[in-house]
Amino acid sequence: MLLAGARGRCPRCGQGALFAGFLTVTRRCNACGLSFAGHDSGDGPAVFGIFILGFVIVGLAVWLEAAIEPPLWVHVLVWIPVTIAASVGLLRPLKGMTIAAQYRFRSVEERERPGAT
């Protein structure tokens, strides 16, 4: 289910598109009809991305500094674009995973909850 969200697919069926644009969530799944109207990820994906990227980027920057001791301008030229690209690249999958987790654990409509009749 989280993998379907990360791929930008419906968390219920795994077939329909979750996004209408880069970060715009579609109104409903075009395959199974699941409504995404009440599923709002808020700032969650950005916070998760900050924690993940902060850990990875700082670790890599410290490793690079210890390994070859480059000048400060090399760190600026390397880590600013890497951080921006990774942030943009992670935002959509993290948003999809957050919406999939909302569907699984806190469905807005009772009839859309897994196993509900």
- Please check the confidence at residue 44 and state whether its pLDDT lies above 80: yes
pTM score of the predicted model: 0.82
Which of 97, 103, 106 lies closest to 48, judged by CA?
Answer: 97
Per the prediction, the chain carries an average pLDDT of 89
Domain locations in the chain? Answer: 2-112
- Please check the confidence at residue 111 and state whether its pLDDT lies above 80: no
- Please check the confidence at residue 40 and state whether its pLDDT lies above 90: no
Distance of CA 110 to the CA centre of its chain: 25
**Torsion on CA atoms 116, 38, 23, 61, rounded to nearest 10:** -80
Q: Where are the alpha helices (DSSP H) in the chain?
A: 2-6, 44-68, 72-105
